[in-house]
Amino acid sequence: MEPAYIKAYEKGVLDKRINMAKELLANCSMCPRMCEVNRLKEKSGVCKTGSAARVSSYHAHFGEESPLVGLHGSGTIFFTNCNLLCDFCQNSDISHEGRGSEVSDEELALMMLQLQNRGCHNINFVTPSHIVPQILSALRQAAREGLNVPLVYNSGGYDRVETLELLDGIIDIYMPDFKFWDSCISGRTCKAVDYPEIARLAIKEMQRQVGDLVINKNGIAERGLLVRHLVLPDEAAGTREIMNFISKEISSRTYVNVMSQYYPCRSAYKHPGLSRRITSEEHYQALMYAKEAGITRLDNLL
């Protein structure tokens, strides 16, 4: 299956999307924060990012979901800063503290090509919601120089539909988190009361664009939607409701990773109930919620 962006590049669609995306930076409305700062003049809002992308690291990653990893790993590019900023973020040195360096379009394109040359099965953009224009601009050069593996949009789920529409026909695999069902929890931990509503709309748009996850005969994902959900203590994430939503309003064939690795870090201790790890029983119950909702494509349980 040919990656979607190749046709977009050849037909000039990618060029148009780059221009449209860059216009959003002048009065930034890239994500639901709607900071309305001029990032082209190096002003910054919640994401603390100006006109250039910042990268913390890039490498072949073997800890991602099975269909992304295969034999040679997922080619992950970890972008610095974040538009969501969860209090319990496990990568807070990158997302909150800004560890990383600015990169040009040429440097970002070279990273993509190097990861492909190492045999990675895809290019996995981690935390991309605030730098869509920069990704698209670098992609143009990478496509010109022979990039031909699928692109993964790996976000926290806090994405504007209007921004996602710019990626239609360009991104092959969407991998959003669906973190919270309860707006009170998202408001307290991320200062994003609208997160549940935004995530529902975003995941519906992602599904519209790419459909259910397609995995080839070698077990490698080529196109589609993969949803992550981090289980929180005392069912604070609203796992049952989220699984029911995915099954009924997205697709019961959605590939889902119900993740158990929550642990209290950064300022999680400030929030009652979030100052401990989850138990094995809580993770098992979360998996049962998924199965009861009719979801059968569960990562590592296939």
Cα 177 to Cα 60, 200, 203, 237, 265: the distances in Å are: 21, 11, 9, 11, 18
Q: Does 265 score more than 90 pLDDT?
A: no
Residues 145, 6 contacting (CB under 8 angstroms): no
How far apart are the C-alpha atoms of 298 and 256, rounded to whole Å?
Answer: 5
How far apart are the C-alpha atoms of 264 and 135, rounded to whole Å?
Answer: 32
Q: What are phi and psi of 196, to 5 degrees?
A: -55, -45
Q: What is the pLDDT of residue 282?
A: 96
Q: What is the pLDDT of residue 28?
A: 97
Does residue 300 lie within any of the structural domains? no
Q: pLDDT digit string (tens) for 124-145?
A: 999 999 999 999 999 999 999 9
Does residue 67 lie within any of the structural domains? yes
Q: Does 270 score more than 90 pLDDT?
A: no
Does residue 11 lie within any of the structural domains? yes
CATH number at residue 275: 3.20.20.70
Q: What is the token pair recorded at 39? A: 């990032």
Query: Which of 2-16, 38-52, 169-183, 288-302 shows the lowest mean pLDDT across its residues?
Result: 288-302
Q: Where are the beta strands (DSSP E) in 38-99?
A: 53-61, 74-79
Does residue 152 lie within any of the structural domains? yes
Does residue 255 lie within any of the structural domains? yes
Q: What is the pLDDT of residue 301?
A: 58
Does residue 299 lie within any of the structural domains? no
Q: Does 236 score more than 60 pLDDT?
A: yes
Q: What is the pLDDT of residue 225?
A: 98
The stretch 2-20 carries a mean pLDDT of 97
Say which residue the tokens 């589609």 belong to. 224
**Could you list the residue range(s) of the whole structural domain that residue 64 is in?**
4-292
Does residue 219 lie within any of the structural domains? yes
Q: What are phi and psi of 14, to 5 degrees?
A: -60, -40
Residues 170, 5 contacting (CB under 8 angstroms): yes
Does residue 252 lie within any of the structural domains? yes
> Above pLDDT 70, what percent of the chain?
99
How far apart are the C-alpha atoms of 293 and 240, rounded to whole Å?
Answer: 8
Q: What is the pLDDT of residue 302?
A: 43
Average pLDDT, the chain: 96
The stretch 153-157 carries a mean pLDDT of 98
The stretch 36-41 carries a mean pLDDT of 96
How far apart are the C-alpha atoms of 204 and 228, rounded to whole Å?
Answer: 14
Strands 173-174 and 221-230: parallel
Under DSSP, is residue 192 helix (H, G, I), strand (E, B) or coil? Answer: coil
Q: Does 223 score more than 70 pLDDT?
A: yes
The stretch 216-222 carries a mean pLDDT of 97
**H-helix segments, the chain:** 4-10, 13-25, 66-69, 92-95, 105-117, 132-144, 161-165, 183-190, 195-210, 239-245, 280-292
How far apart are the C-alpha atoms of 120 and 268, rounded to whole Å?
Answer: 34
Residues 263, 207 contacting (CB under 8 angstroms): no
Could you tell me the pLDDT band of residue 267, with boundaries at 50, 70 and 90? Answer: confident
Q: What is the token pair recorded at 198? A: 């935004």
- Note the pTM of the prediction, 2 decimals: 0.96
Rounded to 5°, the CA angle 148-151-152 comes to: 155
The stretch 107-114 carries a mean pLDDT of 98
Query: Which of 10-14, 75-79, 272-276 shows the lowest mean pLDDT across its residues?
Result: 272-276
User: Total domain count for the chain?
Assistant: 1
Q: Which residues contact 189 (CB under 8 A, 6 or more apart)?
A: 86, 87, 88, 180, 271, 274
